[in-house]
Amino acid sequence: MLENKNILLGITGGIAAYKVCSLIRLYKKAGANVRVVVTPNALKFVTKLTLQTLSNNEVYVEQFDIDEYKPEHIALTEADIFVIAPATANTIGKIANGICDNLLSTTACAFNKQFLIAPAMNNNMWENKFVQENIRKLEENGYNILYPSEGFLACGTNAVGRMREPEEIFEKTVELLSEHGQKLKGKKILITAGGTREKIDPVRYITNNSSGKMGIALANNAAKMGADVTLVSTFGVNGNFKNIVTETAREMEKAVKENISEQDGVIMAAAVSDYRVENYSEQKIKKGVGVNVGLSDGLKLNLVTNPDILKDISLMHTKAKIIGFCAESENLIENAKTKIKNKGCDYIVANDISRKDIGFNSNENEVYIIDKNLNINHIEKDTKENIAKKILENIFE
């Protein structure tokens, strides 16, 4: 199942480290090449000799060991997946915040392929709001988290915090590396994310409330599913995909149209400003001064319509499936149906921005996928990561 796959296995200092010996044997039996990197504290629970014997490879501990003239944290990144089990709260926090103070955390910072993290810790630590925030941060950036289960913990309590069993970690690894887990392999998908900004003067601009989380979740999931992804976003994003950063609607239009010919799908998840200022001021507009000022000292701006990127690319008749997003505060389904007719795209993904528990700036969403024949597929409330995966599975099935 894992023939010719290279697995980098990270082990941190938790009691569950002893179970990883069984995981290594499962990987090896399935044909994988396993290299192991550990934190110094991990070796208090399982010996280096045991790990070397089971993996048939050197076990890496020290930050500046050199192998084949490469710094170790770079040489170790030549793997298909980085599995960290058990992952302590300490290591999760380091990875989520870019801290590189040992070989494992430094390697994680340099690794740009798939991650699978299996946390294990005391239930109070797991429920700590900062630990949960770090987990959310990792998920939002494309990391696969195999959530701990409920069971008897080393501290003597029966609660959530127990590392998932080696067999479960093995099965998840196989899923992520298999053709089944690579449903979009060979596909090229362009995704937009974020809210565009239209400048008024050097210090002011018009924008909207989009956080870009949905578009980033789509990009991360499409990449994990094997697609060659181009993300056109209004801010820089690190991920296993090409990232083009734009600011205005016209800049985004240019980037999309320049890259659309080779795409199998274009997902317009960005919130594109409908209007821009007609006459941008090169100098900061002073309060109460100039021709733009009315009798009540209020600033008057002339706005002009921005290009309708979704409609324009739908009329280009490329091979790409064109997917738009529809953020509505009322009459969600009716407005979404009208939009797909007017835009001419293949699908519209509609969500209700009047709700406080989903949508803009939230980590969760609930959407309706409507195709050009007005068929509706409802995806119930879930994390944006899971929603993104379901959208991709529905549209590119």
Give the catalytic positions in this structure: 155
Q: Which of 60, 72, 1 is nearest to 35 (CA)?
A: 60
Alpha carbon of 23 to those of 122, 138, 153, 164: distances in Å? 22, 23, 20, 11
Distance CA 36, CA 177 (A): 18
- Other CB atoms within 10 A of residue 363 CB: 14
Distance CA 378, CA 101 (A): 45
Spell out the alpha helix ranges (H) of the chain: 20-29, 48-55, 72-75, 89-96, 103-110, 123-127, 129-140, 166-177, 213-224, 249-259, 309-314, 332-343, 384-395
Q: Which of 53, 29, 94 is nearest to 7 (CA)?
A: 29
Alpha carbon of 186 to those of 55, 170, 211, 226: distances in Å? 32, 25, 29, 7
Spell out the alpha helix ranges (H) of 260-368: 309-314, 332-343
